[in-house]
Amino acid sequence: MLAGSRNTDTIIGIFRSLCYSRSIMDAILRTTNEQILGVLQGWDSLEALSVLRFGTDRYDPSFFISYDVYHRGPIPEPGEREQLFTFAVSFESTRDGEKDRIMVEDIPVRLEYKPVDQVDRLVLAASDGGAAEASVTSTYGFFRLLQATAILERGDWLRSTRKTLQYLPDAFWAARIAAYQARMDHVLADLTSAAYAGEALFYQLSLAAFLEALSSLLFAVNREFEPPGRTLQESLLALPVLPEEFETRLAYLLRSDVAISDTRRREIARLITLSALRLS
């Protein structure tokens, strides 16, 4: 009984700790949202603002808060934005001015500025049934559009765009599947050449390209948009439709064990390809 009681107390303690950690993270997100919104809501060109949080807690190395700023027309230049974010302890912007990285106390915050007309072009291409641009462009932007939490909307643009993405035609997915099937054939040939020629750098680049094409193909087969890289493996393995023995074979490809030769990995990649191509 005592042992059982201790186990119960441990479980309760873990549960309380998780709840406490979650409440802290929620409070951090709420405060940061208010600070960011306090600046951006003064921009006439702002159409919508949404947020995603990455990482489990503030001490997670991958933790940061990410905002998508959808706008119509001009926004302040990076130098002006730096002056506006008075609460930030540091500020940097990309060369093209489309992304800012700031620190709010010790919280990493990223802002990505997305013109509505550019988003509309991609969504229109996808909804028209898989134009060439839509079939080879990463769908991660669509993932963010659907999954991020909206904290400001002016009009119904965000809501209607999300509805469009939820009902993309089969032709869009068919075009992506065909494009990445062809891509997999190409990169598998490169991987084969590199493995048997002993070209180490070309092999690593080809393996990376193979894994990228494979991931895109499997998300298309399952009619899902591609998630962020940090959750890619977890999301991939959770897909309902996967190649035969996929988890085991993927693990072999990802291992850095020198006991597995490059030619053996290439053979595993070939088996995955054969199985993946049958899924569509």
Helix (H, G, I), strand (E, B) or coil at 260: coil
Distance, in Å, from the CA atom of 164 to the CA atom of 191, rounded to the nearest integer, reads 38
Least confident of 25-29, 116-120, 141-145, 163-167: 25-29
Contact residues for 191 (Cβ-Cβ < 8 A; gap 6+): 203, 206, 207, 210, 266, 269
Are residues 161 and 199 in contact, defined by beta-carbon separation less than 8 angstroms?
Answer: no
Query: Looking at the DSSP assignment, which residues form a beta bridge with residue 101?
Result: 92, 110
pLDDT, the chain, mean: 89
Over residues 189-233, the pLDDT tens digits come to: 999 999 999 999 999 999 999 999 999 999 999 999 999 988 999
Q: Of 36-45, 126-135, 136-145, which has the strongest mean pLDDT?
A: 36-45
Q: What is the mean pLDDT of residues 129-149?
A: 81
Domain 42-166 is of which CATH architecture?
2-Layer Sandwich (3.30)
Six-digit token string for 253: 């490809």
Over residues 43-78, the pLDDT tens digits come to: 999 999 999 988 767 777 778 899 999 999 999 999
Six-digit token string for 112: 């990505």
Q: How confident is the model at residue 10 (pLDDT cuts 50, 70, 90)?
A: low
pLDDT of 28 reads 86
Pick 269 or 105 by higher pLDDT: 269
Task: Tell me whether residue 216 is exposed, middle or buried, using C-beta atoms within 10 angstroms of its C-beta: 0 to 12, 13 to 18, 19 or more.
Answer: buried
Distance, in Å, from the CA atom of 160 to the CA atom of 158, rounded to the nearest integer, reads 6
pLDDT of 54 reads 82
**Residue 275 pLDDT greater than 80, yes or no:** yes
pTM: 0.85
**Residue 172 pLDDT greater than 70, yes or no:** yes
Q: How confident is the model at residue 133 (pLDDT cuts 50, 70, 90)?
A: low
Q: Which helix (H) or strand (E) holds 29?
A: helix 2-40
Q: What is the mean pLDDT of residues 105-122?
A: 95
**Residue 5 pLDDT greater than 70, yes or no:** no
Least confident of 16-25, 41-50, 261-270: 16-25
Domain boundaries, given as residue ranges, for the chain: 42-166, 170-277
Pick 268 or 134 by higher pLDDT: 268
Q: What is the mean pLDDT of residues 141-148?
A: 96
Give the whole-number percent of the chain exceeding pLDDT 90.
75
Strand 64-71 vs strand 107-115: parallel, antiparallel, or unpaired? parallel
